[in-house]
Structure 1
């Protein structure tokens, strides 16, 4: 009996290790935590070492069976996140199967600079981009140099059209309303044979989107969504200038869902002012009590 239990344990561990998974590489808004110029007690805790710094929001998709690794977004913390990915996968190579970009705000694409001749000097890394994002990279330096030197190989994406990554994983971009100074903005729906994972790190108010977030959550196994700010008044400027949905608004929108559905929701992309960044705040405890989850850097989500 003991031998059978040991076999089952080993089998289940092997099966888990071979399943595709998401690795959370960062959870903060574009400026990171602590943020440049921030001297509040919240940031000083990080500057002075009482809290660890946290990376800008990014995910890795990992297939341990094929040893393929993809990134969603290339952040200013790219070099640290690449190392985190290498450590997690026990694969010291710098090889990436591709990078998927959500949009052209600084926290989501500027890490591409590390692929250039001044750093990695990468060769033909596939970078998946929507049409305006592709045009922006091809026609503006220094990004255009990455294209001309073949550090990156841009792969066009089309709204709501799936891209097959391998026999077990596909990914589909879908446009969402968000400030479009340089490019459109997309979220992603990642599918495996077993799970559906939705990722929306940046969006304007939910009411501006043609889809109902309740339906999006119900149709997914996991939904990582924009939680830049917890509530109005969080920063000393008109918050209409940065019209992300407040966590308080999102919880109100989803309050009629049963707790089993709310547990699918992971908040991410936190501004340095957001109390959800830190453990044991009243706001974080209230969010968890309602069944929602808070994304954690280094977290693994099995697909």
Structure 2
């Protein structure tokens, strides 16, 4: 199985167009690499790909790739606006929980708009039920509980945010993709964990707008817990990194802390073979 990070930044990318924070300024000056918005794809043969989230930058991220289906981890705009860009296909195969689809239909209204342009083959995602994406490649979703504000006013509970465990049945390689998590769930052993790295500190934005309020566990809290053997991953890579996070820069104390703990910071185009 090949897993490719298509976009490693959070919503808005890095640098964010309207942001003049120290991190964005440093990235513009060349102290860090520009990044597009969060997305990942997996393939058994590098010919046919399965896309996890469809960011607004999807047209650049998948240029030349054959996308068989899209799997969603939530209904946030930075993970779903790219669905509209994929409307050129005759049919879009979409894996999502009923909660996510309800939000897309009754909240953001994105799904009814998309259906005016192309056929959407929605395949419901149920927890504990394996999905065969293609012979030899399976995945299973797990719930990621969250108390973050429902910005669209749709009353849904379980399945608002999910993670995926993806398995190559030929090699036994396992990847857990978890770009959004308010707390670190018990993911069990895996070969590679792509984990929410949105913020380094809980108060990174302000004292009143915390990382957890926005549905993200700060790295300074997740790092100690990643040492728990029940959550052990052979390789841990932080993804969905907010434009304010100092780990985006090549030489900062926060970046050195991550690397000293044996973790990695994703870049666009990073490919892992499992």
TM-score, normalised by the number of residues in structure 2: 0.86
Partner of 2:100: 133
Q: Structure 2, unaligned stretches of length 5 or more? A: none
Partner of 1:204: 182
> What secondary structure is seen at the aligned counterpart in 1 of 2:101?
helix
Q: 1:105 aligns with which of 76, 79, 82?
A: 76
Answer yes or no: is 1:28 the counterpart of 2:9: yes
Partner of 2:165: 189
Contact in 2 for aligned 1:122/1:152 (Cα 8 Å): no
Larger radius of gyration: 1
How far is the alpha carbon of 1:145 from its aligned partner? 2.8
Partner of 2:41: 60
Partner of 2:58: 78
CA distance 1:253–1:22, shift in 2 (3 Å): same
Bigger proportion of residues as helix? 1
Q: Structure 1, unaligned stretches of length 5 or more? A: 1-19
> What secondary structure is seen at the aligned counterpart in 2 of 1:222?
strand
Partner of 1:232: 202
TM-score, normalised by the number of residues in structure 1: 0.78
Q: 1:295 aligns with which of 231, 247, 266?
A: 266
- Equivalent residues, number: 260
Structure-1 separation of matches of 2:17 and 2:213: 19
> What secondary structure is seen at the aligned counterpart in 2 of 1:133?
helix
Bigger proportion of residues as strand? 2
Structure-2 separation of matches of 1:227 and 1:32: 13
1:252-297 C-alpha deviation (Å, 9 max, x unpaired)? 2234559xx5642211111111111121222112211221222222
- Computed over aligned residues only, the root mean square deviation of the Cα atoms, in angstroms, reads 2.3
Contact in 2 for aligned 1:177/1:204 (Cα 8 Å): yes
Contact in 2 for aligned 1:115/1:151 (Cα 8 Å): no
Larger RCO: 1 or 2 (CA < 8 Å, sep 6+): 2
In the TM superposition, 1:135-154 aligns within 5 A as 135-139=102-106, 141-154=109-122
> What secondary structure is seen at the aligned counterpart in 2 of 1:80?
helix
Tell me which moved more, 47-56 or 272-281. 47-56
Q: 1:250 aligns with which of 211, 222, 228?
A: 222
